[in-house]
Structure 1
Amino acid sequence: METMQHVFDSAELWHLLPELVLAAGAFALLLFDLFFDSKQKGITHWLSMALLLVVAVLVFTGAGGQPAHLGPPPVLNGMFIRDGVADLAKGFICLVSALGFIYALPYLKERGIYKGEVPVLMLFATLGMMVLVSSANLIMVYVGLEMLALSSYALVAVNRDSPVATEAGMKYFVLGALASGLLLYGMSLVYGATGTLDLEAVLEASISTQDYLMLMTGAAFMVAGVAFKLGAAPFHMWLPDVYQGAPTPVAQFIGAAPKLAAFVMAYRLLSALAPYSEIWGTMVAALAGLSLIVGNLMALRQSNLKRLLAYSTVSHIGFLLMGVAVGNAQGDAASMFYAVTYALTSLASFGFIILMSRKGFEADEIADYRGLGKRNPWMAFLVLCVVASLAGLPPFIGFFAKVAVITAAVNEGLLWLAIVGIVCAVIGMFYYLRILKAMYLEAPEEGVTALANPRDCALMRTSFAVNALLLLGVVVVMNPLIDWCYELFFIP
């Protein structure tokens, strides 16, 4: 019996290989950083980035997985799942997070706020996201979520000498704790109604439960908690202050990959309540519509790019939730595609702010980009690619992502939500076009020369250029990604 137990445990460890490599690497780098002086701190940073790329390769190559026809392997007594959805999400989470490392080091070092703990915190946040997307148990969901949240709180307030960053970190912590409380309370009600914490068992028990009211109340609290983590209206109040107050690379980090992780969390939790999809689907549809309206209307008033991107995020979460509200495989696949493309677009949108900023000049106002089209046509073109993808203009990848979720909504009969999405997409073009107008049609202010050339960092410039050009929606990238997402959710 002991031998069998040993073999069983070894097999489970194999399925956890990507997470174990990342966790071991993070702890090792935390220890090694103690032996580096201030001039060698960058070593920890680049090793952390390399570690994420290694983990991404492990995930994408299926290391630790098993053949698809055998189904997802049971891990940790069914608390952890290693399926195609998890692998796709984890692979892109690691890839996007690793690319974010390229922007972080020069920015933070230039301002004297870089610390060896920063890359380690980013690694633990990424580990939390990986645990989150593979959770098949309510306890595991909470563990992954808190690992991500606690690391993010510390990252937002990493600039301890900045009152704005400290305030943003405190707001994020307080409101994040409230959201975690809502989610945890909802989970406790679901447990009370079904008698189990395993999501698969919750699905089976929800069909015959007698505590219908308790179950639906728990579902409502869980939806509210997920909406906060995503940044959906009316639970978006933390987003603008955090994006504006946090160092731009930190805002870039929490604005990209965590949204993908939060979507998969929503998919896991709501799939466990599939028999009541009409009820929670109505709640999610209402959140989607409200997010689309609030996000776009509030973004119209913004002149600060980081606040504009925050409200833009709210509107994009509206599109993401539109697919979730559909409540079928087509909607889930469309939302997965949207989440992946938005993570890449968000990475680039903060990337050009970092690339154009200098110490004492953040380049986070729309007015800062006046005349960029004449002074640096190549950089202006790359920014145009990013902005056009955010706006959903063809042939950029953001357009195809919006079409996917709107089509899913129409096919399921959510015509009103699709119309709201189309109207709000048109409204969104106005504030995105303000950026393009400033670049190509307005003259720069006198004395503003910092934007004549981007930051002198070849790796950062190359990374941003590749990221921006990928958003052109090239068939070689887009079609395989769409097919991959739809195959995961068993779309013929």
Structure 2
Amino acid sequence: MTDAALFQSILASLPEIVVVTGACILLIFGQFGRKDQEHFVVWGSINVVLIAAFGTLMLASEVRPAYTGMFIADHFSVFFKVVFYFATVLTFLLSRKYADVEGIGSSEYYVLLLFALSGMMIMASATDLLSIYVGLELMALCTYVLTGFLRQEPRSNEAALKYVILGSVSTGIFLYGVSLVYGITGTTQLGAMATAVTGDPLDPGLLLGVVFVVAGLVFKVGAVPFHMWVPDVYEGAPTTITAFMSVGPKAAAFAVILRVFLNPLVANSNVWIIIAVIAVATMALGSFVALVQENFKRLLAYSSIAHAGFAILGVVAGGVDGIASVMLYLLVYTFMNLGIFGAVIMMRNGDFSGELIEDYAGFSKSHPMLALLMLIYLFSLAGIPPTAGFFAKFYVLVALVERGFVILSVIAVLLSAVAAYFYIRIVMVIYMREPMRQFNPALTPLVRATLAFTAAATIGIGLFPALFLRLAQYAAFGG
């Protein structure tokens, strides 16, 4: 690599360098600083993300390939990095009070979130199976540790152990697929794989390798049949980490899926049929199993599974509209899911966890404005107009119909109707039940600001959905 190429590579990856460097500095400061200065680590972490976001937007004017084709800074990666920045900063804001209540407010908590962010950013820009693996593992290792951060809680330890074991298995599957693809094509770069293979039908070994790569990726989004880790991990992890994992790593996995699945090598295989089956099975399992849940976090875990299935339908549709619909879906899901998790987080105060649905009985009578915010999030998750969640699902369905997948669209609508029941059930508990206790939400200015921002974003995108869809289309295709 020449000096000029090295400089261009460093420039293209400057936001990632900023995040990693900032995380290292804050880690050192956290070890040597006083315990009463942990607030500095929080605001320092937020400033690191904001600086990285500024650098990302400044570099968005042109496409910048880097590191001999293993990395690229383009509009597609910029879109996803902005989603990651929102998810991370909002998680920081929600964590300030919650971390103190749970006794996990150490500097390592925020530093691990920054390292997880850097892994997600690498995944969004990776154009090589090996660089995808590096970003994937950097993100995964941090989330493993964060899941078990409640060291005195048996369920948190159990969740972390399950996550590590199943995550390691999925990584092994992914790497085995990479080895098969490399053995047959002689390359791991996404662009070069398609040109390395010609002829029809596709080589059976190569098809098997693609299937293994797909399996390793869909595990990260919690799709069936690789969903078994989601409920236990979401329930056992600290609620702030559950909120973060439900949006950030999921969006990062979808960024990789879109890059890999839109490769002509994959498009010419029969993997699309498998993906359609996975999407329907994921929506069905998530929707029906959520109906019987009493734990709020566990219900949101199955809700996350169902939403992953719906987003995968956009991948099946493909094309300009399909890809843009997935990107818009992930942006909307980030705000509405962080919002509803923020509502759960604010209930954690003293000995009260607020993790049961029944805990919210009559909440509207004592806190009508907070109940209204929860109503907005739940309606958006259910896909009820005029919230952003409705239009996110609508554009996915439009992309499916335009590609001729009418039956898939009908199935998606029916399963969405099933899913709407358990969201409306929570609304009924909030508005139509008598209070069972005195509510004392842990409302700090940061939590208030986070809830207000996510609600405004959920409504705002719902009022101007076409604008955000065009932004997603431009990010995916440059126009």
> Which bin holds the TM-score, normalised by the shorter protein?
over 0.9
Q: Look up the match of 2:247.
A: 256
Cα offset for 1:358? 0.8
Task: Tell which deviates more after alignment, 171-180 or 319-328.
Answer: 319-328
Sort the Cα spacing of 1:414 and 1:93 in 2 relative to 1 into closer, same or farther, 3 A: same
Provide the secondary structure at the position in 2 that maps to 1:27: helix
1:16 aligns with 2:4: no
Q: Look up the match of 2:154.
A: 163
Provide the secondary structure at the position in 2 that maps to 1:444: coil
Q: Look up the match of 2:99.
A: 108
Q: Look up the match of 2:58.
A: 62
Conserved? CA contact 1:44–1:116, under 8 Å:
yes
Task: Tell which deviates more after alignment, 209-218 or 366-375.
Answer: 209-218
Which residue identity does 1:88 align to in structure 2? F
Which residue identity does 1:314 align to in structure 2? I
Q: Look up the match of 1:35.
A: 32
Which residue identity does 1:45 align to in structure 2? V
Query: What's the CA shift string for 1:324-362, capped at 9, x where partnerless?
Result: 012322211111111111122211121110012213211
d(CA) in 2 for partners of 1:475, 1:94: 21
Correspondence 1:357-436 to 2 at 5 A: 357-436=348-427
Conserved? CA contact 1:135–1:141, under 8 Å:
yes
Provide the secondary structure at the position in 2 that maps to 1:489: helix
Provide the secondary structure at the position in 1 that maps to 2:58: coil
What is the percent sequence identity of the aligned residues?
Answer: 35
Sort the Cα spacing of 1:300 and 1:275 in 2 relative to 1 into closer, same or farther, 3 A: closer
Provide the secondary structure at the position in 2 that maps to 1:113: coil
d(CA) in 2 for partners of 1:277, 1:99: 40
d(CA) in 1 for partners of 2:415, 2:462: 27
Cα offset for 1:473? 4.2
Q: Look up the match of 2:346.
A: 355
d(CA) in 2 for partners of 1:255, 1:147: 17
Cα offset for 1:34? 1.4
Which residue identity does 1:319 align to in structure 2? F
- Segments of structure 1 that go 5 or more residues without pairing to the other structure are none
1:289 aligns with 2:280: yes
Instruction: State the structure with bigger RCO (CA 8 A, min sep 6), 1 or 2.
Output: 2
d(CA) in 2 for partners of 1:390, 1:309: 10
Q: Look up the match of 1:458.
A: 445
**Partner residue of 1:49 out of 43, 46, 67:** 46
TM-score by length of structure 1 reads 0.94
Sort the Cα spacing of 1:230 and 1:454 in 2 relative to 1 into closer, same or farther, 3 A: same
Which residue identity does 1:159 align to in structure 2? L
**Partner residue of 1:442 out of 428, 433, 437:** 433
Provide the secondary structure at the position in 2 that maps to 1:472: helix
Provide the secondary structure at the position in 2 that maps to 1:62: helix
Which residue identity does 2:418 align to in structure 1? I
Query: What's the CA shift string for 1:90-133, capped at 9, x where partnerless?
Result: 11201221111011121111122222100000000000000011
Cα offset for 1:385? 0.4
Q: Look up the match of 2:328.
A: 337
Q: Look up the match of 2:183.
A: 192
Which residue identity does 1:463 align to in structure 2? T
Task: Tell which deviates more after alignment, 105-114 or 418-427.
Answer: 105-114
Which residue identity does 2:34 align to in structure 1? D
Correspondence 1:272-351 to 2 at 5 A: 272-274=263-265, 276-277=267-268, 279-351=270-342
Q: Look up the match of 1:269.
A: 260
Provide the secondary structure at the position in 2 that maps to 1:256: helix
Task: Note the aligned Cα RMSD (angstroms).
Answer: 1.7
d(CA) in 1 for partners of 2:131, 2:344: 36
Provide the secondary structure at the position in 2 that maps to 1:237: coil
Q: Look up the match of 2:167.
A: 176
Which residue identity does 2:261 align to in structure 1? L
Cα offset for 1:53? 1.9
d(CA) in 2 for partners of 1:260, 1:428: 21
Cα offset for 1:474? 4.6
d(CA) in 1 for partners of 2:174, 2:425: 38
Task: Tell which deviates more after alignment, 464-473 or 21-30.
Answer: 464-473
**Partner residue of 1:471 out of 446, 458, 461:** 458
Task: Tell which deviates more after alignment, 328-337 or 468-477.
Answer: 468-477
**Partner residue of 1:128 out of 119, 122, 129:** 119
d(CA) in 2 for partners of 1:466, 1:7: 42
**Over 4 Å off, 4+ runs:** 208-211, 473-477
d(CA) in 1 for partners of 2:472, 2:210: 26
Q: Look up the match of 2:467.
A: 480
d(CA) in 2 for partners of 1:462, 1:415: 41
Cα offset for 1:208? 4.2
Conserved? CA contact 1:386–1:468, under 8 Å:
yes
Cα offset for 1:488? 2.9
Conserved? CA contact 1:203–1:271, under 8 Å:
no
Cα offset for 1:483? 0.9
Which residue identity does 1:484 align to in structure 2? L
Which residue identity does 1:87 align to in structure 2? V
Which residue identity does 2:162 align to in structure 1? K
Conserved? CA contact 2:75–2:474, under 8 Å:
no
Q: Look up the match of 2:77.
A: 86
Provide the secondary structure at the position in 2 that maps to 1:395: coil
Cα offset for 1:218? 0.9
Which residue identity does 1:479 align to in structure 2? A
Cα offset for 1:88? 0.6
d(CA) in 1 for partners of 2:218, 2:5: 38
d(CA) in 2 for partners of 1:486, 1:146: 29
- Segments of structure 2 that go 5 or more residues without pairing to the other structure are none
Query: What's the CA shift string for 1:180-229, capped at 9, x where partnerless?
Result: 11111111111112110111101212334886101110111111111110
- Give the count of matched residue pairs: 479
Sort the Cα spacing of 1:211 and 1:463 in 2 relative to 1 into closer, same or farther, 3 A: closer
Conserved? CA contact 1:382–1:469, under 8 Å:
no
Conserved? CA contact 1:156–1:247, under 8 Å:
yes
Cα offset for 1:273? 4.1
Provide the secondary structure at the position in 1 that maps to 2:85: helix
d(CA) in 2 for partners of 1:293, 1:475: 26
Conserved? CA contact 2:339–2:455, under 8 Å:
yes
Conserved? CA contact 1:23–1:127, under 8 Å:
yes
TM-score by length of structure 2 reads 0.96
Conserved? CA contact 2:26–2:45, under 8 Å:
yes
d(CA) in 2 for partners of 1:154, 1:203: 37
Which residue identity does 1:230 align to in structure 2? V
Sort the Cα spacing of 1:423 and 1:374 in 2 relative to 1 into closer, same or farther, 3 A: same
Cα offset for 1:46? 1.7
d(CA) in 2 for partners of 1:164, 1:231: 20
Sort the Cα spacing of 1:473 and 1:274 in 2 relative to 1 into closer, same or farther, 3 A: farther
d(CA) in 2 for partners of 1:113, 1:213: 49
